[in-house]
Amino acid sequence: MQSVINSIRERAVKYNKRIALPETDCDRTLQAAMKAHEAKLAEIVLVGSRKYVETRAKHLELDLMALEIMDPEDEDVRKTCAATYYEARKAKGLTEEEAYESVVDPLFCAAALLKQGNVDGSVAGRIHSTADVLRALLRIVGTKDGCKTVSSCFIMATPQRSLGRNGMFIFADGGVVPQPTAEQLADIAISTAESAKLYFEVEPRIAMLSFSTKGSAGHPDVEKVVEATKLAQQRRPDLLIEGELQADAAIIPEIAEAKCPGDRLAGRANVLIFPDLDAGNIAYKLVQRLTGGEAYGPLVQGLAKPGLDLSRGATADEIVNVIAIAALRAGSGI
């Protein structure tokens, strides 16, 4: 796991991207901002009350003078962000007055700055729910071309070095879409393949998981995964995507040979796409706890520009790593 994070951080440094942190009323965020700045992972833009940031920085003994602060209550900032939000949502009935009132919220202000190109990425979620973080991003930034579904993935590191990519996998979706349709599952598979290629620097080998392997069981849930697999393959014939597969057939070559001989993955998947949020969330937590492995995420994917969510329990160091991931995604255009 550490080798992946180190690689991400090293690559992020090269891009020198501007990353917004809109949770400046969180001490860990301020500490992470300082660490990310010192490590030169990105140019940090603090989005929040200038007075509060300066007061807390003094209390925490942090020298944040070198960091840019964008205060949503500054009239110039508020007006430009309100105009951006209004343009993004006026067709949905948003008024200029509503936009002006909304962007005083740092999450909406940061999303507007991201839409403008004033910043290249945004990281939040330490003190806000995933729903709150994504609401601002979806309303202003929106989804990337060709993708209608925002989802999340987890980088999983296990002691089983013979499996996946030296014991590492990408799991999706474990944090956003409760009951994806076949079309949404296809979106999730394609987005996760791009994430895996970026994070692991290897060709993604994607397994669409089910309780059935290549027709061994019949059920509407199985049919959904079969349809999702076909859709993903049609949209991205360049990717190695197979399904429907049971988890053991996806990651154990001997079991793949017995259950689905001739399957192109041959039991060597490094990306696992779960049929719903129940399965994905339960799986990542069980793998983490039962193997003593590590889980890193949820890492948001599918947005037009990088807006990443944090775990509520994220440490300052974990926030720093997500800042690096946001910078890498911004630099790579994913």
Which CATH number covers residue 130? Answer: 3.40.50.10950
Tens digits of residue pLDDT in 138-193: 999 999 998 999 999 999 989 998 999 889 999 999 989 999 999 999 999 999 99
Element (H, E) at 165: none
Instruction: Report the distance separating Cα 164 and Cα 177, nearest Å.
Output: 24
Q: Say if residue 202 is in the same domain as residue 280.
A: yes
168 and 285: one domain?
A: yes
- Residues 189 and 240 grouped into a single domain: yes
Domain enclosing residue 47, as ranges: 2-142+303-332
Provide the domain count of the chain.
2
One-letter amino acid of 116: Q
- CA max distance for the chain: 66
Segments of the chain scoring below 70 in pLDDT: 1-2
CATH of residue 212: 3.40.50.10750
Tell me, yes or no, whether 222 and 102 share the same domain.
no
- Do 124 and 173 lie in a common domain? no
pLDDT, residue 1, reads 57
- pLDDT (0 to 100) of residue 24: 95
| Residue 297 confidence (pLDDT) | 82
Kindly report the CA angle at 323 between 32 and 279, in degrees rounded to 5?
A: 110
276 in the same domain as 201: yes
- DSSP secondary structure of 180-192: --HHHHHHHHHHH
User: Residues near 320 by Cβ (< 8 Å), separated by ≥ 6?
Assistant: 32, 35, 36, 39, 41
Give residue 218's pLDDT: 92
pLDDT computed for residue 2 by the predictor:
66
Q: Domain check: are 155 and 225 in the same one?
A: yes
- pTM across the whole model: 0.91
Give the list of residues 6+ apart from residue 27 with CB closer than 8 angstroms, or none: 56, 60
